[in-house]
Structure 1
């Protein structure tokens, strides 16, 4: 069945059956971390980024399956009123529409001699005469830039000839969610709340609180979900939002009150959860001076010592570093040993000690890959001291034309 929606034909895809009307539905989408890496890389190289939007993007994708739709209102055939239409291209609402669009765009870029990233399948690069053009795909939005103005202009013209595009222009890049934040405040009627510099202290006690009055679960989940999306550009609320997200199953008035503030910082603490005594890991990763990734997450198991909590957090941070290192290799960057700053001498000693002893033998084996990558030289564990100018780290960053560094907080 087809319905009209905002002057576009939209198929009701829930009538489709897998294996008959569609096969695969997966289509890669750029992660917010990958976009921040692109922005940091462009800033360090002095690239001017531009953005373009593909109009009616899904209508450009070709489908392989046989899909039929009834004649929509306004498009009926007077000669064959009882017949149906067979689709040659994708239609909005079809389950395979995003995949078909990505396949069409990918084919076009590869024919244009672009090279797809080995790690990030939404990243495409073109090298020509010493110049580089970078293209990042996010469904129907395209961010692109390069070292040559002629190469960038040529790509914009080429895309406009192939697809119907709207070009935003090189007016500078500023990532923010100000309008989105205002919409959240208005939606949940908390626009009159008093602003605070810190949304939540790490020492704040927040538990199931069964004695308090229950609040609307749907509303609370909506607030938490909206704030989780906001953390894409606001790392300072990561800790507070992730802590409140633990109580979505049975929210109370105390939990709703804790969600209201919007400004603050994230931190980590050993056995901070009052319910199951699990620790919280807080990490952030920087490319030169640009913060590109951050996390605040409760650990999967209970840590017996502060050393163990820091060690597990360092392992989580290491895995993120390895992903970033692999992603940046698509940009042509090669890194040696990456500095990982940890504020625990004991955790560093455990990572550097190849012998399992009483304090480490119970730690899950998956966390010991931190030690393995330290021995391979992929990371370099360093003690982070607040307020101290670490000359060794500066030297490591300056020895490369760009630097990747991680901080365990």
Structure 2
């Protein structure tokens, strides 16, 4: 559903129309229990198509009776970026697919009942209810039912589910051909060197599910994909999204700045409102909304704002004026760098990791900050900036805890790449010592001036910040 669409509740009184919508996934039995709603969506400005869906009121379900397990995985964004790096470097074909009404394909394991829809009740059987034969939108287990159905089908085609990511599937053919499929709920990316093999998989999926073929991938999860095939490069950006999020905060015409936060700037809880008048004033500030918008950009394509977003997000429960000024400063930085994108490509396909820590940088709890970044094919594929869970007693201890966290990510990335068929992937991991004896990573000591992870632990000066951003593969488009 697009961001510019609104929803209208609609009572449907035509049984034939309702039958067409739900494809008769119900039979009438039993006693009164449950309820049903229906929703129609239409764009605000232009009606491209109308969509009607039956939506079960899942909030009425009871655990252990109407549902058990509801968890459903989605592909990791790190996996998506790694596959995009492979797509650029190895000149793969990349297609995008969307499953229509995905949650209607799930097979229910529980016995679930609902009210007859308004206008659908048969004369003389008004006291009966519907038993669901298949999943419907609104059910708590609907996402899990869909995932299990898709997982079962794709495995029956001979694909292997990666142990490192259960929403990534891989199959190898003769002549070193292979296909990688990534699943994010009902969105799919299919990559491979042989276009015929990719088209065959698309045909197999279309025979099993009702699919929407979106052709060569140019957008995934709100991220734009731009390709320069001649130079084997792609750019992954959120240019349109970043420009859009500035408008609700009246920052679309603000003056831009060079860094998200000034050097040596610290935030603390002492800046939170100290009286009711200040709290009332800050309650009118869209702090949480701004944080949500910035976090989505940060986890998708912008490691350069990770440290700043992490710092201001700690005060979301009770933000003060200084905290809001810092959020607006990040938005001013976004205003001047909305065209910046991750650029993957080149002939080198080696994972490089950088890790750093900022000892006791948090003024409230004296916790240290862990920051790491891993690059592949010239740009960042994985990064993090967050407070450590315990208080470090020394700089060495803080560095060691940071290295441990980054080491786990390095091994995970290596395992993922090996499962994707890149058996001889090299991993260089700076500032780690725990796994050197196993020769899983290559340890090198580097100067702080050459450490990309410095930007993920604290505010730094403009020159170092621009260098770090560029070294992470972020470039103007």
TM bucket, shorter chain = 0.7 to 0.9
> 1:106-145 counterparts in 2 under 5 A?
106-130=151-175, 131-145=177-191
Match of 1:374, SS state, is coil
Question: Residues 211-250 of structure 1: matches in 2 within 5 Å?
Answer: 213-214=278-279, 215-216=282-283, 219-231=286-298, 232-250=300-318
Cα deviation for residue 303 of structure 1 reads 3.5
Question: Per-residue deviation at 1:165?
Answer: 1.0
> Which of residues 240, 247, 267 is equivalent to 1:179?
240
Judge which range, 79-88 or 330-339, deviates more.
Answer: 330-339
Question: 4+ residue runs of structure 1 moved beyond 6 angstroms?
Answer: 264-267
**Contact 1:303 1:309 (C-alpha < 8 Å) held by counterparts:** yes
Q: How many pairs does the alignment contain?
A: 363
What do the CA deviations read for 1:305-358 (whole angstroms, capped 9, x no partner)? 43333332222211111111122222023357732224xxxxx7xx4xxxxxxx
2:447 is the alignment partner of 1:379: no
Matched-pair contact (CA < 8 Å) for 1:200–1:240 = yes
Pairing partner for 1:315 from 379, 399, 404: 404
* Alignment RMSD (CA, Å): 2.5
Residue 255 of structure 2 corresponds to residue 194 of structure 1 = yes
Cα distance in structure 1, aligned partners of 2:284 and 2:440: 45
Would you say the 8 A contact 1:338–1:380 is kept in 2? Answer: yes
Q: Is the 8 A contact 1:217 1:250 kept in 2?
A: no
State the TM-score, normalizing by the size of structure 1.
0.82
Would you say the 8 A contact 2:356–2:402 is kept in 1? no
Q: Cα deviations across residues 75-108 of structure 1 (Å, max 9, x unaligned)?
A: 3323523221111110000011111111111111
CA distance in structure 1 between the partners assigned to 2:134 and 2:285 by the alignment: 38
Farther off after superposition, 64-73 or 299-308:
299-308
Distance 1:192 1:268, change over 3 A: farther
Counterpart CA distance in 1 for 2:170 and 2:119 is 44
Contact residue 75 and residue 165 of structure 2 kept, 8 A:
yes
Q: CA shift at 1:59, angstroms?
A: 0.4
User: Taking structure 1 as reference, are residues 145 and 307 closer, same or farther at Cα in structure 2, changes over 3 Å only?
Assistant: same
The answer to whether the 8 Å contact 1:284/1:294 transfers is: yes
67-76 or 303-312: bigger deviation:
303-312
SS in structure 2 of the partner of residue 158 of structure 1:
helix
How far apart are residue 65 of structure 1 and its match?
A: 1.2
Unaligned runs of 5+ in 2: 1-34, 41-51, 219-224, 227-235, 338-354, 451-470, 473-477
Higher percent of residues as strand: 2
- Helix, strand or coil at the partner of 2:430: strand
Q: Distance between the aligned counterparts of 2:449 and 2:384, measured in 1?
A: 23
Q: Do 1:53 and 1:167's aligned partners in 2 also have CA atoms closer than 8 Å?
A: yes
- Report if the CA contact (8 A) 2:96-2:189 is conserved: yes
